[in-house]
Amino acid sequence: MGSAIDNYLSAGTGKSNSTDEFEYYRRHSSGPRNDFATMLMVLSAAVMKADGKVLKVELDFVKNFFSQQFGPRFGREHLQVLKHFLDGAEIPLAQICSDIRLRTQVEVRIQLLYYLFGLAGADGKVEASEISVIKNIAVLLEIPDRDFESVKNMFFRDVDSDYKVLEIEPGSSEEEIKKAYRQMAVRYHPDKVAHMGEEYQKGAKEKFQKIQEAYENIKKQRGIN
């Protein structure tokens, strides 16, 4: 897999001759083995193309993530899907996101969003064009804006990020803070994606930990027991 990525970088990114990218996506996402992986690869390509350049660090992020999430089930065919969409002139995001939306629950789509923010920050900085593409994907996937802002602030932090992660205002009362945490803990519990398989829960557990960290930070700051 490592050599496949290196060869891809050496070859550059030409334009695909495919005239029906959505049909290509449907063919590769139809089987139980590849459906979710293909969704991730297509959305990965959209974010990676956003700033007009494909970096090796981004490809490494994708390779490492898929190796950890899918283990031996991740192989050359997945990289070929990624390369196809990186080479293509335009990714039909509206059609693909509509298909993803119909095939997944909102908790799974939020998990996709979490992964995309990680990919965008793989090179240590996030371009406005990348944020714009991820926001567009979130809208097309019908992810509520509050969930978008919550996940975004797990990666790109300011003084109010802990509150934004819990989807509350900095002036919230102690009772409101505790209530928000309880609601988030239920909503984002890794069990919500248990039906997708154990590999999908790894990222969900990481996201859940960020919610817990935000709550603990607020408690410490506010002196809440």
Residuewise pLDDT in 10s, the chain (225 residues): 555 555 655 555 455 444 488 998 988 888 655 577 888 899 999 999 998 888 899 999 998 888 777 776 666 788 888 999 998 878 999 999 999 999 888 888 998 999 999 999 898 888 889 999 999 999 999 999 999 999 999 988 888 999 999 999 999 999 999 999 999 888 888 887 766 666 566 777 888 899 999 999 999 998 887
- Count how many domains the chain has: 2
Task: Based on the fold, state whether residues 101 and 172 are members of the same structural domain.
Answer: no
Res 86: pLDDT: 92
Task: Based on the fold, state whether residues 112 and 217 are members of the same structural domain.
Answer: no
Task: Kindly state the greatest CA–CA separation across the chain.
Answer: 61
CATH of the domain at 53: 1.10.3680.10
Phi/psi at 47 (5° precision): -70, -40
Res 152: pLDDT: 92
Cα dihedral 170/110/122/43 (nearest 10): -140
Q: What is the DSSP letter of 170?
A: T
Res 16: pLDDT: 46
Report the predicted TM-score, pTM, of the whole model to 2 decimal places. Answer: 0.80
Instruction: State the residue range of the domain holding 170.
Output: 157-225
Res 9: pLDDT: 53
Task: Based on the fold, state whether residues 145 and 185 are members of the same structural domain.
Answer: no
Q: Specify the long-range contacts of residues 180-189, CB closer than 8 Å, at least 24 apart.
A: 181/211, 181/215, 184/150, 184/211, 185/211, 185/212, 187/107, 188/107, 188/110
Task: Based on the fold, state whether residues 100 and 179 are members of the same structural domain.
Answer: no
Distances (CA, A) of 90 to 46, 70, 155: 9, 27, 27
Res 219: pLDDT: 93
Res 67: pLDDT: 79
Rg (CA), the chain: 18
| The last residue of a domain, from among 120, 153, 186 | 153
